[in-house]
Amino acid sequence: MKIIDAIAQSAPFYSLEFFPPKERTAWADFFAVAERLRAVNPLYCSVTYGAGGGVAAGTLEIASRLTGLGFTVMNHLTCVGATPESIRAYLEKLGLAGVENILALRGDPPAGENIRWEDCPFTYAADLVSFVRREFPSFGIAVAAYLTPHPESPSFAEDRLYTAMKIKAGSDFAVTQLFFDSREYFEYVEQLRRLGVTKPILPGVLPVQSMDLLRRVLRLSGCNIPAKLYLALEEADRKGGAEAVREAGAVHAVEQIRQLIAGGAPGVHLYTLNRAELCLRIAEQVGPL
């Protein structure tokens, strides 16, 4: 089933993002986390995919096993360094595994590699979207949306234009990068609507697990965080350590989710970081969506 069809039939919902553990010895714990998170009744879960195909095999196997456990799965798919033949072969494997939805991404080159994008079969995520829509029309396709512009975008305006282009290339919906200020999401959606985008834009929410993880995520994603929130998390860390940070992060996430749903967001995509406890606590405190 295409996820967009489930979205159209659903009240506000949760979806979840997982990443494949690097070591197979961690897979048992990973699937235990996934089973615990069934309690939030996720509409679907997404599984990330490494740049250059570094964890492609692990992503495929985990996506297949989650599908076998009854989850609707959206497999991340990057096209950096890929060929039409390699993308076609991977999508055929996904279809055989019962995975019918992808998140189409350009991806970043593996560390230390320089890529001449103009020489690549897929220069942008929009190229991948068009290819999949043409070659595999039964697949559901989502794309990523960046409230903070992609590092290679020259301006906010051009970033929005590129996002609109890849959605219009054949995407069913978009999922945003993590953010911490709900006003940014609503402003972003309005900007895309003015560009003619009518598809759902699903907000991504990261429950703050620790200051170290937060700093790493901010460094990698380039997203913004309100100074007041960051200072409050630092103060919680000084006074009560990691548990106090998780508590402050939970309070913020609960309020953020309530604001998003009250403002008309179709649902909330939780970046789980493969951890169940905080996500479960937040969902319980939010109550029914």
Check if 17 is active-site.
yes
Nearest-angstrom CA–CA distance, 59 and 41? 22
Nearest-angstrom CA–CA distance, 172 and 266? 13
Please check whether residue 49 is in contact with residue 76, taking contact to mean a CB–CB distance below 8 angstroms: yes
Nearest-angstrom CA–CA distance, 236 and 240? 6
Of 143, 154, 157, 273, give the one whose Cα is nearest residue 220.
273
Q: Is 46 helix (H, G, I), strand (E, B) or coil?
A: strand
What is the full per-residue pLDDT of the chain (289 aa) written as tens digits?
Answer: 899 999 999 999 999 999 999 889 999 999 999 999 999 999 999 999 754 444 566 889 999 999 999 999 999 999 888 899 999 999 999 999 999 999 999 887 666 566 666 677 898 899 999 999 999 999 999 999 999 987 778 888 999 999 999 999 999 999 999 999 999 999 999 999 999 999 999 999 999 999 999 999 888 888 889 999 999 999 999 999 999 999 999 999 999 999 999 999 999 999 999 999 999 999 999 999 9
Q: Which of 17, 35, 184, 284 is catalytic?
A: 17
Indicate left, alpha or beta for 181 from its phi (over 0: left) and psi (-120 to 50: alpha): beta
H helices of the chain, in order, are 3-9, 27-36, 56-68, 84-96, 125-135, 156-168, 182-194, 211-221, 227-262, 277-286
pTM: 0.94
Domains of the chain with CATH codes: 3-286 (3.20.20.220)
